[in-house]
Structure 1
Amino acid sequence: MNIVILAGSNRKNATSTRLGEYAAEVIRGQGHEAVLFDLYEKPLPFYAPDEKQETDEHLAELNTILLAADAIILSTPEYHGSISGVLKNALDHLGQAHFSGKPVLSISSAGGAVGVSSLTQMQTMVRNLHGINAPEWISIGGAQRRRFEATFDGYEEYEGSQDIEERVQRVLGSFLNLARTLTAARKA
């Protein structure tokens, strides 16, 4: 399967992007393709419905990879109880053709304990785009974010480091099972 991870932060080394990178590693380790589209590295123009923006190379790339995706992961930091502005802008550029009938996993990173508000908002948007929300989501916050910070070297011990990796792997396994089932049904 081909899974696209849309990393929705405009911050270098964002924990939500690093969580998306970790998800890509786990997915590749299970024999699937995983492409991370990082909105920090590939910014999109502001959505303007009255302007033609097809010539933007990052937007053209995003359109192409999402149309070809079997499943999608949306990753965002939680800002003021919501998704990031750059992720919302990216979703405004996209439509039902990119999401319809495809499983979508929502993941977030919050400065507090968890980022539930951003997750529920992403799931609402996915429903409006006719995607199929995964029944679980991933939210990291507080000390759990340490595992995904740029300075984490793998040798550090902190409370819950193994727990968060196990939880992410479990949710990704469930998501991949859903994606396999839905992809097979869509292609039948």
Structure 2
Amino acid sequence: MRVRELPDPDHLPALDRRYALERPALGLGPEGHAPRILLLYGSLRETSYSRHAVEEAARLLRFFGAEPRIFDPSDLPFPDQVKGDDHPAIHELREMSIWSEGQIWCSPERHGQISGLMKAQIDHLPLSMGGMRPTQGRTLAVMQVSGGSQSFNAVNTLRLLGRWMRMVTIPNQSSVAKAFTEFEDGRMKPSPYYDRIVDVVEELVRFTVLLRPHVTQMTDRYSERKEDAAKLEARTGLRSILHPS
């Protein structure tokens, strides 16, 4: 699988556990399965701060009782590059999105926007796919890293894309300025920037746990019921109870 492994998932040197709420405090009872969270990052550099940021988020997700998976986009083709999107990386990205109940997107800011790699991953996620909707109803947290002063251009764009993909984007977000000063040996140093990532991950887990029992009800749309009934009638010649005469 194209999932990046975390070498030390339980090592959280920047987290002050005196103030951190673990699994029970987030309302995850013994009967509930771990929230399934997909993480996407937007740079293939050997030292990728967006990747390091989602790795820190993934460690925190495990601390909070969630199940994280980080997609590795290193061999993902451009959208429309492969006929019929028939490529193993595309298939796996879509399968992981369907598996997920929530997602974290983290992009570097380049020329005042998200990276092309970040946009390519989102573009490979269709709104509808064989009756499945890979993103609809999932929770979403957005983050960005910058080489200069703090900016919110990338997270603002990710919010717009999340709304377009019919996701529930949480209020909190993270923007790490001068990211090259905030990491050492691939790990994030203690700082207010790290604390904000803890806030974001904690809030995402809460929203995911609260929303997931109601996703079917919250995403049941009149227009889609009408469209599905019309397709059924065209295919079978039978009128659906949802499409009466």
TM category, shorter: 0.7 to 0.9
Pick closer, same or farther for the CA change 1:14–1:2 going to 2, 3 Å.
Answer: same
1:141 is matched with 177
RMSD of aligned Cα (Å)? 2.0
Indicate whether 1:20 and 2:54 are aligned: yes
Letter in 2 for 1:19: A
The question of 1:99 aligning with 2:147 is answered no
Task: Give identity over the alignment, percent.
Answer: 24
Alignment partner of 1:52: what SS?
helix
Pairing of 1:24-63 with structure 2 (within 5 A): 24-39=58-73, 42-48=74-80, 51-54=83-86, 56-63=87-94
Task: Answer 1 or 2: which has greater helix percent.
Answer: 1
Which whole-Å deviations, capped at 9, do the CAs of 1:135-165 have from their partners, x for residues lacking one? Answer: 11111012x54233546596xxxxxx33222
Amino acid aligned to 1:62: L
C-alpha separation between the residues in 2 aligned to 1:127 and 1:49?
26
Q: What TM-score, normalized to structure 2? A: 0.67
Instruction: Note the C-alpha offset of 1:102.
Output: 0.9
> Is residue 206 of structure 2 the alignment partner of residue 177 of structure 1?
yes
Matched, 1:168 2:202: no
Aligned to 2:40: 6
1:186 aligns with 2:215: yes
* Higher RCO (CA-CA < 8 Å; seq separation 6+): 1
CA contact (8 A) 1:19 1:148 kept: no
In the alignment, the residues of structure 1 paired with residue 214 and residue 42 of structure 2 have an alpha-carbon distance, to the nearest angstrom, of 29
- SS for the counterpart of 1:134 is strand
C-alpha separation in 2, matches of 1:49 and 1:165: 37
Aligned pair 1:123/2:152, yes or no?
A: no
Structure 2 residue 107 is the aligned partner of structure 1 residue 71: no
Which structure 2 residue ranges, 5 or more long, are not aligned? Answer: 1-34, 128-132, 218-245
8 Å CA contact 2:141–2:200 kept in 1: the answer is: no
Counterpart residue type for residue 57 of structure 2: A
SS of 2:191's partner is: helix
Q: Unpaired runs of 5+ in structure 1?
A: 155-160
State how many pairs are aligned: 178
Q: Quote the Cα distance in structure 2 between the aligned partners of 1:117 and 1:146.
A: 20
| 2:84 partner letter | K
Over 3 Å counting, the alpha-carbon distance change for 1:24 and 1:50 in structure 2 is: closer
SS at match of 2:166: coil
CA drift of 1:27 comes to 0.3
Instruction: Give the alignment's TM-score, normalised by structure 1.
Output: 0.86
* Partner SS, residue 135 of structure 1: strand
- CA deviation vs aligned residue, 1:98-145 (integer Å, no higher than 9, x gap): 211111111110012223111111111111111111111111012x54
Measure, in 2, the Cα distance between the counterparts of 1:76 and 1:126: 13
Larger Rg over CA atoms: 2
Contact 1:13 1:150 in 2 (8 A): no
Aligned partner letter, 1:66:
S
CA contact 1:9–1:38 (8 Å) conserved in 2: no
